[in-house]
Structure 1
Amino acid sequence: MTRIAILLASAEALLLADGTSRPCGFWAEEVVGPWRRFTEHGAEVVVTTPDGAPAPVEKASLVPETASLSPEECSRLSDFLDRHARELGAPRRADELDVSTVDGLYVPGGYAPLAQLHTHPAVKTLLGAALDGGRPIATVCHGTAALLSLHEPGHRWPFAGQALTGFSDAEEDTVGMAGKLAWTLQAALTGAGGEYRSGPPWAEHVLEHPKLITGQNPASADQVALALIEQLG
C-alpha cells in the first residue's frame, strides 16, 4: 500500500516583527482535502511533526468568514479533524520516521510552518532523507517553508534555480500580515536561490517538477495532492 507522510508543525505561536506573537497552526482545508484525496486513491496517511507533539489547527481556518468557506464546509472540516484526532494527537517524530517506509511527503500550510519548519533539525533530517531516497516532496502555501530547512549558508540549496511557489507577499498583504511578519516566505525562497513564481492572489497555482511539487495557496491544495498521487503512480 502507498503511504504518504503529512508533515505538520507543532508550533502554537508565531513571533512577529514587533516582538509580539500570534496563535498559529495548520490550515484545515489544506490538510483535510489532500488527506481525503490520498485515502480515496488507496493511500495510507502517516502524520508527523518535528518533535512528535500534536499539531494545532488555525482556528480561522474553521470559521466561514476567515476561511472563505461555507458554514457547511467548515463543519465538514471540523468533523474530519475530530474523526482523525488520534492521528493528529499522537504524530510520529520527524527524525524518527523511516523514510523508506513512506512513498511521498506532503507539507500543508497555515502560519505554523513559518514558526518552526524552516529551521527545525528534525525537518532537515526528514527532507534530506526524502531527497536522498528519491521520495517526492509536495508542499502548499506556507508549507513550502519546510524546504528552507535544507538551506545552509555557504552551501548551494538543493532547490536553487528551481521554479517554486508558496504563499505570496501579495496574499500576505490582503490578509493584513505583510507588515507584521518578521519575514515572508516569498522573500525567503528567493533569497535561498529559488525561482519564486506566483499567480494572482488566491487563484490556483501549482508548479511541478519530478520529485518536487509546490502550490501557492489553499486553492492549490487539491491539485498539489493530485499531482503527488500521479507521481506516485
Structure 2
Amino acid sequence: MSPSILVVLTSHAELADTGKKTGWYLSEFSHPHHVFASSSPPPKITVASPHGGAAPLDQSSVEAAKDDKISVEFLHRQSALWEATTPLSQILKEGIDGYDAVFFPGGHGPMFDLAKDQESQEIVKKFWEAGKVVSAVCHGPAALVNVKLSSGDYLLKGKKVTGFSNSEEDAVGLSEQMPFLLETRIKEVGAEFEKTEDWGERLVVDGKLITGQNPASAKAVGEAILKTI
C-alpha cells in the first residue's frame, strides 16, 4: 500500500505592509514532490491550506527557479495541486489516520498564517502524538514553533531543528518585515537550532521530526521523509 503525505501550504499572499506579494516557495515543494513521484510506489499526496482553494505561489520563487528544470516542469504540469487545496478544517474533520507524514514547504507566507493557525497546530499535534512524521523546510518550521503537545510542552522543546536562519533573513532584507525571526523563535521554545552557511544545504533529522534550512535543503527533506515513512 502506498504511503500518504499531507502537504500544507500557506494561504497568505501579502508581504507585511510592503505592497509586495508572497506565498509558498516553488522549489521547496517541487523538489520534494519530484522525490516522491520518482519513488516506487509513489506516495499519495494531499495538499491543504488554511483557507482551502488556491494557495498563493510566491512569484519571486518562480523567477528564481526559471533555470531549474524540475521546478519549471512542476509549475506547468502540477498546478492542480495548489489551485484547489483542501481546507485544514476538512482535514481535521476527516481525521489523520490515513496519513503517514505532514510536510510544510516554506516561503514567507507561513510566517504570517501557519505560525498562528489553530487548525494547523492541532493537525501537527495529532500527527506527532500518533507517531507520524512531521516535516518542514525553510520558513515551513514557522508552522511548528507554537505547537504545544498534550503535555503542555512545545513540540520543538529539546529537539534539534533547522530553518531559515536570521542571517539569511538579513541577507534578503526582510528581517524588519517579519512578524518574528524564525531562528530566534525556534530557540525561544527550547529547541537546539542547527545551521550551515547561508544558502548551503542543511538537513536535520531528530527521530520523526525532519527540517531543512533553506531552498537548497528541500530535496534532502523529501528524501528523508520517504526514508522515515
Q: TM-score, normalised by structure 2?
A: 0.90
- Within the alignment, does 1:194 sit opposite 2:191 as a pair? yes
Alpha-carbon distance in 2 for matches of 1:205, 1:55: 26
Task: Give a deviation string over 1:58-88, Cα, whole Å, max 9, x none.
Answer: 111111xxx2x5x4326x5244223222221
Match in the other structure for 2:156: 159
Alpha-carbon distance in 2 for matches of 1:183, 1:22: 18
Does the 8 Å CA contact 1:141/1:218 hold for their aligned counterparts? yes
CA shift in 2, pair 1:191/1:151, >3 Å:
farther
1:148 Cα deviation after fit: 2.1
Match in the other structure for 2:96: 99
Match in the other structure for 2:145: 148
Task: Give a deviation string over 1:69-114, Cα, whole Å, max 9, x none.
Answer: 5x4326x524422322222111112232221111111111000110
Matched letter for residue 10 of structure 2: A
Does the 8 Å CA contact 2:146/2:154 hold for their aligned counterparts? no
1:151 Cα deviation after fit: 4.3
Aligned-partner SS, 2:205:
strand
Matched letter for residue 85 of structure 1: S
* Identical-pair percentage: 28
Any runs of at least 4 consecutive aligned residues in structure 1 with deviations exceeding 3 A, and if so which? 19-22
Task: Give a deviation string over 1:133-178, Cα, whole Å, max 9, x none.
Answer: 21101110000101024149x9421220111010000101111112
Does the 8 Å CA contact 2:137/2:215 hold for their aligned counterparts? yes
Alpha-carbon distance in 2 for matches of 1:151, 1:169: 23
Match in the other structure for 2:5: 4
Alpha-carbon distance in 2 for matches of 1:184, 1:90: 30
**Aligned partner (choices 188, 213, 219) of residue 210 of structure 2:** 213
**Aligned partner (choices 157, 179, 184) of residue 181 of structure 2:** 184
Aligned-partner SS, 1:36:
helix
- Within the alignment, does 1:44 sit opposite 2:38 as a pair? no
Match in the other structure for 1:13: 14
Alpha-carbon distance in 1 for matches of 2:208, 2:50: 21
1:191 Cα deviation after fit: 1.3
CA RMSD of aligned residues (A): 1.9
**Aligned partner (choices 29, 32, 43) of residue 30 of structure 2:** 32
Match in the other structure for 1:53: 53
Q: TM-score, normalised by structure 1?
A: 0.89
Once structures 1 and 2 are overlaid, which stretch shifts more, 193-202 or 164-173?
193-202
Matched letter for residue 33 of structure 2: W
Match in the other structure for 1:138: 135
Matched letter for residue 144 of structure 1: P
Does the 8 Å CA contact 1:95/1:125 hold for their aligned counterparts? no
Does the 8 Å CA contact 1:203/1:219 hold for their aligned counterparts? yes
Does the 8 Å CA contact 2:111/2:179 hold for their aligned counterparts? no
1:209 Cα deviation after fit: 1.4
Aligned-partner SS, 1:22:
coil
Aligned-partner SS, 1:220:
helix
Task: Give a deviation string over 1:171-201, Cα, whole Å, max 9, x none.
Answer: 0111111233231111111112211121111
Alpha-carbon distance in 2 for matches of 1:132, 1:155: 13
Matched letter for residue 36 of structure 2: F
Matched letter for residue 214 of structure 2: N
Aligned-partner SS, 1:96:
helix
Alpha-carbon distance in 2 for matches of 1:227, 1:107: 14
Does the 8 Å CA contact 1:39/1:45 hold for their aligned counterparts? no
Alpha-carbon distance in 2 for matches of 1:21, 1:228: 36
- Within the alignment, does 1:72 sit opposite 2:82 as a pair? no
